[in-house]
Amino acid sequence: MRFKGTLISISAIVLGACAGGDKNPADTTAVMVDTSAAMAAATTPAATTTAATGTMAPITGTTHEVKMVGDAKGFRFEPAAITIKAGDGIKFANVGGGPHNVSFDAATVPADVKSQLNANFGADKDPNSDLSSKLTGVAGGDAVTVSFANVKPGTYSVFCLPHKMMGMTAKITVQ
């Protein structure tokens, strides 16, 4: 009961603040404002970084498959660690529990590799987010393929943005 009283008091204060002050009886003109463009701009996420655009380097080696899984055991990449050679590619296949995506942890990507990795997502690149793919479909069957051609050797951390907090992370070692 006390909660309802507090809620009613807060509502009255908010409504009172929105009611405005004195009204001028001569001011009866209605103004219509088209806010659709402003709303679209406000709800469209901006790119997190404006990395230089590189040219996609095609896969010249083996294409490995990593499954993106969401089931009763949780959300995960299978395998959660993979070692590949420079020039190889990885096909991240959504096998369910999606939507999923592939995002590189920027802290594990050298500055001189970022533009190449962004380009190597090809058509799967999320145009609004650096080092990240578009989301796959919910039901599974979709895939994101990333080329590691022209990518320096090292260990790169990836995660699924919608499920990162649930532990959906992986390590990719490029030799």
Q: Which active-site residues does the annotation give?
A: 100, 160, 163, 168
Beta partners for 90?
Answer: 64, 146
99 upstream amide cis, omega within 30 of 0: yes
Q: In residues, how long is the chain?
A: 175
Phi, psi dihedral angles at 155 (to 5 degrees) = -110, 125
Phi, psi dihedral angles at 51 (to 5 degrees) = -75, 150
Would you say the C-alpha torsion 52, 148, 46, 40 has a positive or negative sign? positive
